[in-house]
Amino acid sequence: MDMVGTIGLTEEQADLLEVATNFCRDKSPIEKVRELLEDDLGYDPDVWKEVAELGWLAIALPEEYGGVGLSLAEVVPVVEQMGRNLMATPFVSTSIAAQAIIAGGTEAQKKNYLPKIAEGMAATVALSEDNGDWDLSNITATANLEGSGYMLSGTKTFVCDAHSAEIFIVSAALDGGSAKLFIVEKDMLPEGSIRRETVIDETRRSFKLCLDGVGVHEIQMMDVNQVDAALAHIHMVQALLLSAEMCGGAFSTIEYTLDYLRTRKQFDKIIGSYQALKHPIVDAHISYEHARSHLYSAAHNFDKQGEQEIAVRMAKSKAGEAFSYAADRSIQFHGGFGFTYECDAQLYRRRSLWCEHMAGDGAYHREKLAALMF
Protein backbone atom coordinates (compact mmCIF):
# COMPACT_ATOMS: atom_id res chain seq x y z
CA MET A 1 0.00 0.00 0.00
CA ASP A 2 2.86 2.39 0.78
CA MET A 3 4.31 1.88 -2.71
CA VAL A 4 1.15 2.46 -4.74
CA GLY A 5 2.20 6.01 -5.54
CA THR A 6 5.58 4.85 -6.87
CA ILE A 7 6.28 5.25 -10.58
CA GLY A 8 9.13 3.29 -12.04
CA LEU A 9 10.43 3.20 -15.60
CA THR A 10 12.82 0.37 -16.32
CA GLU A 11 15.54 0.50 -18.95
CA GLU A 12 13.62 -2.14 -20.91
CA GLN A 13 10.43 -0.05 -20.76
CA ALA A 14 12.29 3.00 -22.06
CA ASP A 15 13.82 1.03 -24.94
CA LEU A 16 10.50 -0.55 -25.89
CA LEU A 17 8.77 2.83 -25.68
CA GLU A 18 11.18 4.30 -28.22
CA VAL A 19 10.91 1.36 -30.63
CA ALA A 20 7.12 1.13 -30.31
CA THR A 21 6.69 4.88 -30.81
CA ASN A 22 8.48 4.78 -34.16
CA PHE A 23 7.02 1.45 -35.31
CA CYS A 24 3.38 2.25 -34.55
CA ARG A 25 3.65 5.75 -36.02
CA ASP A 26 5.13 4.40 -39.28
CA LYS A 27 2.87 1.34 -39.62
CA SER A 28 -0.42 2.86 -38.56
CA PRO A 29 -0.92 6.33 -40.04
CA ILE A 30 -4.50 7.58 -39.88
CA GLU A 31 -5.01 6.85 -43.59
CA LYS A 32 -4.18 3.19 -42.93
CA VAL A 33 -6.52 3.12 -39.92
CA ARG A 34 -9.38 4.38 -42.07
CA GLU A 35 -8.56 1.94 -44.87
CA LEU A 36 -8.74 -1.00 -42.47
CA LEU A 37 -12.18 0.03 -41.20
CA GLU A 38 -13.68 -1.57 -44.31
CA ASP A 39 -11.42 -4.62 -44.24
CA ASP A 40 -12.89 -7.91 -43.01
CA LEU A 41 -9.69 -8.88 -41.21
CA GLY A 42 -9.36 -5.39 -39.72
CA TYR A 43 -5.57 -5.39 -39.55
CA ASP A 44 -2.55 -5.76 -41.79
CA PRO A 45 -1.23 -9.37 -41.57
CA ASP A 46 2.25 -8.16 -42.60
CA VAL A 47 2.32 -5.76 -39.66
CA TRP A 48 1.15 -8.55 -37.35
CA LYS A 49 4.00 -10.70 -38.64
CA GLU A 50 6.45 -7.88 -37.90
CA VAL A 51 5.03 -7.52 -34.38
CA ALA A 52 5.78 -11.20 -33.79
CA GLU A 53 9.27 -10.90 -35.30
CA LEU A 54 10.02 -7.98 -32.99
CA GLY A 55 9.42 -10.38 -30.11
CA TRP A 56 6.68 -8.30 -28.52
CA LEU A 57 4.40 -11.30 -27.98
CA ALA A 58 7.17 -12.97 -25.98
CA ILE A 59 7.95 -10.00 -23.71
CA ALA A 60 5.95 -11.16 -20.69
CA LEU A 61 6.26 -14.91 -21.24
CA PRO A 62 8.63 -16.96 -19.04
CA GLU A 63 11.91 -17.94 -20.66
CA GLU A 64 11.26 -21.67 -20.21
CA TYR A 65 8.29 -21.34 -22.57
CA GLY A 66 10.06 -19.40 -25.26
CA GLY A 67 9.53 -15.96 -23.78
CA VAL A 68 11.82 -13.08 -22.90
CA GLY A 69 11.09 -13.32 -19.20
CA LEU A 70 10.11 -9.72 -18.57
CA SER A 71 6.79 -8.59 -17.11
CA LEU A 72 3.59 -6.87 -18.18
CA ALA A 73 5.21 -3.59 -17.15
CA GLU A 74 7.29 -3.92 -20.32
CA VAL A 75 4.18 -4.65 -22.42
CA VAL A 76 2.53 -1.41 -21.30
CA PRO A 77 4.61 1.03 -23.43
CA VAL A 78 3.97 -1.12 -26.52
CA VAL A 79 0.19 -1.10 -26.01
CA GLU A 80 0.28 2.60 -25.15
CA GLN A 81 1.81 3.41 -28.53
CA MET A 82 -0.61 1.09 -30.33
CA GLY A 83 -3.42 3.03 -28.69
CA ARG A 84 -1.84 6.33 -29.64
CA ASN A 85 -1.93 5.33 -33.31
CA LEU A 86 -5.22 3.38 -33.24
CA MET A 87 -3.19 0.41 -34.45
CA ALA A 88 -5.30 -2.69 -35.10
CA THR A 89 -3.73 -6.10 -34.41
CA PRO A 90 -4.68 -9.07 -32.18
CA PHE A 91 -1.80 -8.12 -29.85
CA VAL A 92 -3.86 -7.20 -26.78
CA SER A 93 -6.26 -10.16 -27.00
CA THR A 94 -3.34 -12.54 -27.54
CA SER A 95 -1.40 -11.04 -24.60
CA ILE A 96 -4.42 -11.46 -22.32
CA ALA A 97 -4.89 -15.09 -23.40
CA ALA A 98 -1.20 -15.80 -22.79
CA GLN A 99 -1.45 -14.37 -19.29
CA ALA A 100 -4.52 -16.53 -18.67
CA ILE A 101 -2.51 -19.64 -19.55
CA ILE A 102 0.38 -18.55 -17.34
CA ALA A 103 -1.99 -17.97 -14.41
CA GLY A 104 -4.30 -20.94 -14.85
CA GLY A 105 -2.89 -23.40 -17.34
CA THR A 106 -1.47 -26.81 -16.58
CA GLU A 107 2.23 -27.42 -17.15
CA ALA A 108 1.44 -29.36 -20.33
CA GLN A 109 -0.73 -26.53 -21.64
CA LYS A 110 1.98 -23.96 -20.94
CA LYS A 111 4.56 -26.05 -22.78
CA ASN A 112 2.20 -26.58 -25.70
CA TYR A 113 0.69 -23.13 -26.27
CA LEU A 114 3.02 -20.44 -24.90
CA PRO A 115 5.93 -21.08 -27.32
CA LYS A 116 3.46 -20.92 -30.22
CA ILE A 117 2.12 -17.59 -28.96
CA ALA A 118 5.66 -16.28 -28.62
CA GLU A 119 6.19 -17.10 -32.30
CA GLY A 120 3.05 -15.27 -33.42
CA MET A 121 0.01 -17.49 -32.90
CA ALA A 122 -3.06 -15.33 -32.20
CA ALA A 123 -5.28 -16.19 -29.24
CA THR A 124 -8.13 -14.60 -27.34
CA VAL A 125 -10.36 -14.91 -24.28
CA ALA A 126 -14.11 -15.65 -24.38
CA LEU A 127 -15.29 -14.75 -20.88
CA SER A 128 -18.00 -12.06 -21.24
CA GLU A 129 -21.65 -13.00 -21.59
CA ASP A 130 -24.99 -11.43 -22.41
CA ASN A 131 -25.51 -10.50 -18.74
CA GLY A 132 -22.95 -7.73 -19.26
CA ASP A 133 -21.45 -8.39 -15.83
CA TRP A 134 -17.83 -7.29 -15.48
CA ASP A 135 -17.45 -9.93 -12.75
CA LEU A 136 -15.90 -12.76 -14.76
CA SER A 137 -17.07 -15.34 -12.21
CA ASN A 138 -20.72 -14.69 -13.14
CA ILE A 139 -20.95 -17.49 -15.70
CA THR A 140 -24.03 -18.99 -17.34
CA ALA A 141 -22.24 -21.05 -20.00
CA THR A 142 -22.04 -24.68 -18.95
CA ALA A 143 -19.78 -27.68 -19.35
CA ASN A 144 -21.21 -31.17 -18.93
CA LEU A 145 -19.16 -34.31 -18.52
CA GLU A 146 -19.61 -36.54 -21.53
CA GLY A 147 -17.42 -39.59 -21.90
CA SER A 148 -13.78 -38.63 -21.45
CA GLY A 149 -14.44 -34.98 -22.23
CA TYR A 150 -16.91 -32.14 -21.82
CA MET A 151 -19.71 -30.73 -23.92
CA LEU A 152 -19.97 -26.94 -23.74
CA SER A 153 -23.04 -24.77 -24.24
CA GLY A 154 -23.85 -21.09 -23.99
CA THR A 155 -22.79 -17.90 -25.71
CA LYS A 156 -19.84 -15.60 -25.15
CA THR A 157 -19.80 -11.96 -26.23
CA PHE A 158 -17.15 -9.38 -27.09
CA VAL A 159 -14.64 -12.03 -28.11
CA CYS A 160 -12.01 -9.80 -29.69
CA ASP A 161 -10.14 -11.04 -32.76
CA ALA A 162 -11.96 -14.39 -32.69
CA HIS A 163 -11.64 -14.60 -36.48
CA SER A 164 -7.84 -14.77 -36.17
CA ALA A 165 -7.47 -16.70 -32.92
CA GLU A 166 -6.16 -20.26 -32.98
CA ILE A 167 -7.13 -20.85 -29.35
CA PHE A 168 -9.84 -19.45 -27.06
CA ILE A 169 -9.77 -19.29 -23.25
CA VAL A 170 -13.38 -20.11 -22.36
CA SER A 171 -15.13 -20.09 -19.00
CA ALA A 172 -18.02 -22.42 -18.17
CA ALA A 173 -19.79 -23.72 -15.07
CA LEU A 174 -19.20 -27.47 -14.72
CA ASP A 175 -22.60 -29.17 -14.50
CA GLY A 176 -24.04 -25.80 -13.50
CA GLY A 177 -21.74 -25.59 -10.48
CA SER A 178 -18.23 -24.24 -10.06
CA ALA A 179 -16.44 -22.26 -12.74
CA LYS A 180 -13.86 -23.95 -14.97
CA LEU A 181 -11.61 -22.68 -17.72
CA PHE A 182 -10.98 -24.48 -20.99
CA ILE A 183 -8.60 -23.95 -23.88
CA VAL A 184 -10.68 -24.45 -27.02
CA GLU A 185 -8.79 -24.83 -30.26
CA LYS A 186 -10.19 -23.31 -33.41
CA ASP A 187 -10.76 -26.66 -35.14
CA MET A 188 -12.99 -27.76 -32.24
CA LEU A 189 -15.56 -25.12 -33.16
CA PRO A 190 -18.47 -26.08 -35.44
CA GLU A 191 -18.93 -24.02 -38.58
CA GLY A 192 -20.86 -20.83 -37.92
CA SER A 193 -20.06 -20.66 -34.20
CA ILE A 194 -18.38 -17.25 -34.59
CA ARG A 195 -20.51 -14.29 -35.59
CA ARG A 196 -19.24 -10.73 -35.91
CA GLU A 197 -20.74 -8.11 -33.62
CA THR A 198 -21.41 -4.50 -34.51
CA VAL A 199 -19.54 -2.43 -31.95
CA ILE A 200 -19.01 1.28 -31.57
CA ASP A 201 -15.25 1.13 -32.19
CA GLU A 202 -15.03 0.24 -35.87
CA THR A 203 -11.29 -0.37 -35.63
CA ARG A 204 -12.14 -3.48 -33.56
CA ARG A 205 -13.22 -6.90 -34.67
CA SER A 206 -15.48 -8.33 -31.97
CA PHE A 207 -17.49 -11.55 -32.16
CA LYS A 208 -20.10 -13.68 -30.46
CA LEU A 209 -18.98 -17.22 -29.81
CA CYS A 210 -21.67 -19.91 -29.64
CA LEU A 211 -20.43 -22.86 -27.59
CA ASP A 212 -23.41 -25.14 -28.26
CA GLY A 213 -22.15 -28.47 -29.57
CA VAL A 214 -18.50 -27.75 -28.79
CA GLY A 215 -16.83 -30.84 -27.37
CA VAL A 216 -13.44 -30.61 -25.67
CA HIS A 217 -11.07 -33.24 -24.36
CA GLU A 218 -10.32 -33.48 -20.65
CA ILE A 219 -6.79 -32.24 -21.26
CA GLN A 220 -8.25 -28.92 -22.49
CA MET A 221 -9.47 -28.09 -18.99
CA MET A 222 -7.14 -25.68 -17.22
CA ASP A 223 -5.86 -26.16 -13.67
CA VAL A 224 -8.98 -26.55 -11.50
CA ASN A 225 -7.13 -25.20 -8.46
CA GLN A 226 -6.24 -21.93 -10.16
CA VAL A 227 -9.56 -20.87 -11.69
CA ASP A 228 -10.42 -18.07 -9.24
CA ALA A 229 -6.88 -16.72 -9.24
CA ALA A 230 -6.71 -16.91 -13.04
CA LEU A 231 -10.00 -15.03 -13.51
CA ALA A 232 -8.85 -12.33 -11.09
CA HIS A 233 -5.51 -12.07 -12.91
CA ILE A 234 -7.18 -11.85 -16.32
CA HIS A 235 -9.39 -9.01 -15.09
CA MET A 236 -6.36 -7.07 -13.87
CA VAL A 237 -4.46 -7.69 -17.12
CA GLN A 238 -7.43 -6.50 -19.16
CA ALA A 239 -7.76 -3.35 -17.05
CA LEU A 240 -4.03 -2.56 -17.23
CA LEU A 241 -3.73 -2.97 -21.00
CA LEU A 242 -6.95 -1.04 -21.64
CA SER A 243 -5.54 1.76 -19.48
CA ALA A 244 -2.42 1.79 -21.65
CA GLU A 245 -4.52 1.97 -24.81
CA MET A 246 -6.57 4.82 -23.38
CA CYS A 247 -3.54 6.85 -22.28
CA GLY A 248 -2.06 6.55 -25.76
CA GLY A 249 -5.40 7.49 -27.30
CA ALA A 250 -5.85 10.48 -25.00
CA PHE A 251 -2.44 11.87 -25.93
CA SER A 252 -3.12 11.42 -29.64
CA THR A 253 -6.52 13.11 -29.30
CA ILE A 254 -4.96 16.13 -27.61
CA GLU A 255 -2.25 16.35 -30.31
CA TYR A 256 -4.86 16.13 -33.05
CA THR A 257 -7.05 18.78 -31.43
CA LEU A 258 -4.16 21.16 -30.81
CA ASP A 259 -3.22 21.02 -34.49
CA TYR A 260 -6.71 22.20 -35.30
CA LEU A 261 -6.78 24.90 -32.64
CA ARG A 262 -3.47 26.28 -33.94
CA THR A 263 -4.56 26.49 -37.58
CA ARG A 264 -8.32 27.11 -37.70
CA LYS A 265 -9.26 30.81 -37.91
CA GLN A 266 -12.53 32.39 -36.87
CA PHE A 267 -13.14 36.16 -37.02
CA ASP A 268 -9.53 36.53 -38.28
CA LYS A 269 -8.12 34.93 -35.13
CA ILE A 270 -6.67 31.48 -34.49
CA ILE A 271 -9.39 29.79 -32.45
CA GLY A 272 -6.81 28.42 -30.05
CA SER A 273 -6.21 31.97 -28.85
CA TYR A 274 -9.65 32.09 -27.20
CA GLN A 275 -9.62 31.44 -23.47
CA ALA A 276 -12.79 29.37 -23.74
CA LEU A 277 -10.83 26.80 -25.74
CA LYS A 278 -7.44 27.16 -24.01
CA HIS A 279 -8.66 26.17 -20.58
CA PRO A 280 -10.41 22.91 -21.54
CA ILE A 281 -7.47 21.69 -23.63
CA VAL A 282 -5.14 22.42 -20.69
CA ASP A 283 -7.55 20.49 -18.45
CA ALA A 284 -7.45 17.60 -20.94
CA HIS A 285 -3.65 17.57 -20.89
CA ILE A 286 -3.45 17.66 -17.11
CA SER A 287 -5.98 14.83 -16.90
CA TYR A 288 -3.89 12.83 -19.40
CA GLU A 289 -0.73 13.39 -17.34
CA HIS A 290 -2.53 12.19 -14.21
CA ALA A 291 -3.79 9.12 -16.06
CA ARG A 292 -0.34 8.26 -17.45
CA SER A 293 1.20 8.58 -13.98
CA HIS A 294 -1.39 6.15 -12.66
CA LEU A 295 -0.73 3.83 -15.62
CA TYR A 296 2.99 3.55 -14.99
CA SER A 297 2.41 3.25 -11.27
CA ALA A 298 0.09 0.31 -12.01
CA ALA A 299 2.67 -1.22 -14.36
CA HIS A 300 5.39 -0.80 -11.73
CA ASN A 301 3.26 -2.37 -9.00
CA PHE A 302 1.58 -5.04 -11.12
CA ASP A 303 3.53 -7.94 -9.67
CA LYS A 304 3.29 -6.72 -6.07
CA GLN A 305 0.71 -8.52 -4.02
CA GLY A 306 -1.62 -6.19 -2.15
CA GLU A 307 -0.70 -3.20 -4.30
CA GLN A 308 -1.54 -4.42 -7.78
CA GLU A 309 -5.33 -4.23 -7.57
CA ILE A 310 -5.44 -0.75 -6.06
CA ALA A 311 -3.00 0.65 -8.60
CA VAL A 312 -4.70 -0.99 -11.60
CA ARG A 313 -8.21 0.07 -10.62
CA MET A 314 -6.97 3.64 -10.12
CA ALA A 315 -5.31 3.56 -13.55
CA LYS A 316 -8.40 2.20 -15.33
CA SER A 317 -10.69 4.72 -13.70
CA LYS A 318 -8.44 7.69 -14.44
CA ALA A 319 -7.54 6.66 -17.99
CA GLY A 320 -11.21 6.30 -18.91
CA GLU A 321 -11.95 9.74 -17.54
CA ALA A 322 -9.00 11.37 -19.33
CA PHE A 323 -9.63 9.79 -22.74
CA SER A 324 -13.37 10.40 -22.60
CA TYR A 325 -12.92 14.08 -21.76
CA ALA A 326 -10.23 14.69 -24.40
CA ALA A 327 -12.23 12.94 -27.15
CA ASP A 328 -15.46 14.70 -26.23
CA ARG A 329 -13.74 18.12 -26.21
CA SER A 330 -12.13 17.32 -29.55
CA ILE A 331 -15.54 16.82 -31.16
CA GLN A 332 -16.85 20.04 -29.59
CA PHE A 333 -13.82 22.08 -30.67
CA HIS A 334 -14.20 20.95 -34.27
CA GLY A 335 -17.66 22.54 -34.25
CA GLY A 336 -20.27 21.31 -36.75
CA PHE A 337 -17.57 19.27 -38.51
CA GLY A 338 -16.63 17.47 -35.30
CA PHE A 339 -19.37 14.86 -35.24
CA THR A 340 -19.11 13.92 -38.91
CA TYR A 341 -17.62 10.65 -40.10
CA GLU A 342 -14.92 12.55 -42.02
CA CYS A 343 -13.50 14.11 -38.83
CA ASP A 344 -11.01 11.85 -37.05
CA ALA A 345 -12.31 13.07 -33.67
CA GLN A 346 -15.11 10.48 -33.91
CA LEU A 347 -12.56 7.67 -34.22
CA TYR A 348 -11.02 8.64 -30.89
CA ARG A 349 -14.42 9.09 -29.20
CA ARG A 350 -15.53 5.65 -30.38
CA ARG A 351 -12.28 4.13 -29.11
CA SER A 352 -12.69 5.88 -25.74
CA LEU A 353 -16.24 4.55 -25.31
CA TRP A 354 -15.15 1.00 -26.11
CA CYS A 355 -12.14 0.99 -23.80
CA GLU A 356 -13.93 2.74 -20.96
CA HIS A 357 -16.71 0.17 -20.82
CA MET A 358 -14.61 -2.95 -21.22
CA ALA A 359 -13.43 -4.66 -18.01
CA GLY A 360 -15.39 -2.19 -15.88
CA ASP A 361 -16.04 1.53 -16.18
CA GLY A 362 -14.77 4.20 -13.80
CA ALA A 363 -17.68 3.97 -11.37
CA TYR A 364 -17.24 0.19 -11.13
CA HIS A 365 -13.54 0.40 -10.33
CA ARG A 366 -14.01 3.28 -7.86
CA GLU A 367 -16.61 1.22 -6.01
CA LYS A 368 -14.13 -1.65 -5.77
CA LEU A 369 -11.41 0.77 -4.66
CA ALA A 370 -13.55 2.07 -1.81
CA ALA A 371 -13.78 -1.43 -0.40
CA LEU A 372 -10.02 -1.89 -0.71
CA MET A 373 -8.89 1.39 0.80
CA PHE A 374 -11.26 1.98 3.72
Q: Mean pLDDT, consecutive 10-residue segments, the chain of 374 residues? A: 64 93 97 96 97 97 96 96 97 98 98 98 97 93 93 97 98 91 97 96 97 95 96 97 98 96 90 90 97 96 88 97 97 88 94 96 94 81
Question: Using CA atoms, how far apart are residues 122 and 109, in angstroms rounded to an integer?
Answer: 16
pLDDT at 2: 53
192: left (phi over 0), alpha (psi -120 to 50) or beta: left
Question: Using CA atoms, how far apart are residues 363 and 2, in angstroms rounded to an integer?
Answer: 24
Angle at CA of residue 74, ends 71 and 78, nearest 5°: 135
Question: Using CA atoms, how far apart are residues 75 and 72, in angstroms rounded to an integer?
Answer: 5
Return all residues near 35 (Cβ < 8 A) that are at least 6 apart.
none
String of DSSP letters for 280-324: HHHHHHHHHHHHHHHHHHHHHHTTSTTTHHHHHHHHHHHHHHHHH
73 residue type, one letter: A
Which residue(s) pair with 221 in the sheet?
A: 182
pLDDT at 338: 82
Instruction: With 0.85 as the threshold, say if the pTM is over it.
Output: yes
